[in-house]
A and B are shown apart, each in its own frame.
Chain A
Amino acid sequence: MNPNYRTLSESEIESFAEEIDQLKVSVKKRIGTEDAHYIRKINRAVRYSGVLGRGFLFLSFLPWLWFVGVAFLALSKILDNMELGHNVIHGQFDFMGDPHYQGKNYEWDIMATSENWRETHNFKHHTYTNIEGHDEDIGYGFIRMFAGQPWSKWHILQPLYTLAFALVFQWGVALQNVRFEKLAGKGWLPSLVHNNPNQWSKMKWQVIKDYVVFPLLAGPMFLYVLAGNAMANTIRNLWTFTIIFCGHFTEKAVMFPSSAINETRSGHWYLRQIQGSSNISGGKWFHILSGNLSHQIEHHLFPEIPANRYAELAPRVREICNRYGQSYNTGRLSKQFGQVWYRIFRHAFPSKATEC
């Protein structure tokens, strides 16, 4: 049916799953020193760039230092968010037994609590990737990315509000799991706080940290630091939005009907991961900055394998995909991101499922 993905017979799906499983086991056996060393190196980069970023912002009476400060702080936040936090919270580095890298206890410098993230991302998004009604990451409930989603007249505005959403992306992710119902006898804000105490306090902490405490520490540079922190957060928002949307909404990405959740066998699950994800090609630094989500396909097949292994897995996954007639979606950032925006514009207007 879909020209990009050959329909496989049950026995083919089984042998396909077996090959992917073997690949996983073979890499799992090699996990050790190298991976521990890698994540510590990333942690070191996060800490040094963070100190440099905040330090330069404090010294931003020389205007050019403000830009340097913003760049370092944004770099630190991006690395902390993408390559360190995201991967650690998946439990990829639990094998180390080091409490500083335990997925279950890790908390990161972003609005969303890691508890919240484990639910919406680790569980819902990864288990039900691109399944309508189960994966809330499909347009985050208000951006129409696929023809299969119902259209309303408000979607005409979606190119505009998607851009606005990208600017405050971390807030969107934080509020994704927040319950908005108003409680009887309580105002709107108190009910919000009551429904989501942890998320509420985390958001407050983050705001106070970046917009009160660190600016205050800078004394006379208060406003510069405040603006610098806001800028760094915005850059991180735009970057994470870009990478994450490229991961699942390129041209050939498939959205699955909600009935797909009943198909839990490994082979079917693996196939959905491949058909619903797309990679971005690039150099070593690009992969690190994207938190190795440029290897979205490998990440979705093996979310529990340390991210630094994805690059070596990629050619083998691609080879298996080719043999089974599954298109392996990859391309440079401009191409992939262009396809994402094409979708955002195209599906702002009524579209039929056959045109996907």
Chain B
Amino acid sequence: MAEEQAIILPHKVETVSKHINRQVYIKAYTRFISVKNEGNMSQLKSILLSARDMILPEQVYDFWCEEFALLSRRRESIAKVVKVVQESSDSVSLWLKPNANFQGIQPGQHINLGVEINGRRLQRSYSVSSVRGAFFRITTRLVNKGQVSGYLNQHAKPGMLLYLGDVYGDLSIAKFDQKPALFLAGGIGITPIISMLEAWAGSYRTLPVELMYWGKSEKDLAFVERLKKLASQNDWFRLHVIETEFIERNEDGSPRLLAESSSWFEDLKNRIPNFEAFACGSDGFVSQLRDRLQPWVNHFSFESFSPVFATATAGMPVQVNLSKQHRSVTIASGVNLLRALEQAGVAIASGCRRGTCNTCTCKKISGLVQDQQDQRIHAEDNAMFKPCMHTAISNITLEL
């Protein structure tokens, strides 16, 4: 402790003495406009920032940028659609140019994207399907009743703005760089995989990569042509497309992804122990493959997606996670959320209790809540809502 101080102190003294005059000068001003001291930011810088925010507050700056079709924003990360490619009859790819606030994304990672539809910003998670410099691509497949996928498939065009949320996903290309890889894709689960393949396409990769790609029929599969081309150009890459329309069924009617007698599988078994396996698809797809492959592979990792479902009946217990307090409480679904939280001993600011004063409004990080008045289901992640007007209908996470 003492040693540390001895080293640091002279350095500090030096800087202080150097800038002593300026600091006195700055101090007079900061006293005047009471700038809050923000960590290491120099006082001069914070004064300049405050002056900037006075003349051009975020709201005004963002407005004029949008008005002049500039991508710049004070804080918000956004992206412009620069190219739209129809990948198959029901999937479309968007090439995005993010603004400078965006921290970047790696092949294999996912991003929460906000799209404004009918005046409401809806958020969905997409895996990036290719990264080229600052630009990246997402691919969306039309899902039945999917509001966002439906909108993007029909209306996406260059120039459209999307709002970029959090980037997440531990799985990244680095994991497979030094090992042979076995990729298993179910339908649109191809997206994180193609982004990695694209990244390797221009490199000196020698370690083998094998891709099994399942889909109803080949014409419905995104990127099939591109994958075939990659396979013919790169010795290290082998592609197997399996059309599930005509293959054997499991007892529950789902397609049997790997037949017992599959010669490909027999052949693969001999090579498999050395592979790093990764599966991406719906929950059912991943669990079927995991059961089958886990005993054989070196390491099996997976990502799956399935919509969140609401609890069937009111009164069922749901869990409310409170992200700031690092705890969770259990309440009944179907009852007023504000009252239920209070009864569970959660301190929450509130006022009118009738949806008018906007005091209890807080951020819902995930989960489903339902408006008790007009029954609208509020499914957006990371969006504000009023607990006094809603009831939780699934497990939810609140920023409290």
Chain A residues within 8 Å of B, Cβ to Cβ: 21, 24-25, 28-29, 31-37, 43-44, 47, 50, 89-91, 94-100, 102-104, 107, 118-119, 122-123, 126-127, 201, 204-205, 208-209, 213-214, 217, 266, 269, 303-304
Contacts and interface: CB of A to CB of B under 8 A. Distances in A.
A44 B114 CA distance: 22
B57 to A, nearest CB: 8
Nearest to A103: B358
16 contacts: A29-B376, A36-B120, A37-B119, A47-B63, A47-B67, A96-B119, A97-B122, A103-B361, A122-B356, A122-B358, A123-B351, A126-B356, A126-B357, A127-B351, A214-B55, A266-B354
Contacts of B33: 204-205, 208
B374 interface: yes
B355 interface: yes
Interface stretch (B195-203, B207-215, B260-268, B380-388): B380-388
B357 A122 contact: yes
Contact of A123 (B51, B114, B359): B359
A50 B57 CA distance: 13
A304 B355 contact: yes
Given A122-B359, A127-B356, A32 B120 contact: yes
Interface in B343-375: 351-352, 354-359, 361, 373-374
Nearest to B380: A97
B187 to A, nearest CB: 28
B54 interface: yes
Interface of B: 33-34, 51, 54-55, 57, 59-60, 62-64, 67, 76, 114, 116, 118-123, 351-352, 354-359, 361, 373-374, 376, 380, 383-386
A29 B374 contact: yes
A103 B34 CA distance: 26
Contacts of B55: 209, 213-214, 217
Nearest to B355: A304
Contacts of B62: 100
Main SS class of interface, A: helix
A60 B150 CA distance: 54
A95 to B, nearest CB: 6
Contacts of A44: 63, 67
Contacts, number: 113
A269 B120 CA distance: 30
Contact of A96 (B51, B121, B356, B386): B121
A209 B54 contact: yes
B357 A99 contact: no
A201 B118 contact: no
A43 B376 CA distance: 27
Contact of B352 (A43, A50, A126): A126
A33 B118 contact: yes
A240 to B, nearest CB: 20
A24 B54 contact: no
Contact of B121 (A33, A47, A97, A103): A97
Point out which of B55, B380, B384 has the most chain A C-beta atoms below 10 A from its C-beta: B384
B357 A118 contact: yes
Contacts of A24: 373
A192 to B, nearest CB: 14
Nearest to B51: A213
Contacts of B51: 213
Nearest to B54: A209
B357 A25 contact: no
Contacts of A89: 358
Contacts of B380: 97
Given A118-B357, A123-B357, A126-B356, A47 B64 contact: yes
Given A91-B361, A126-B352, 7 more contacts: A24-B373, A33-B118, A36-B119, A95-B120, A97-B383, A127-B354, A269-B354
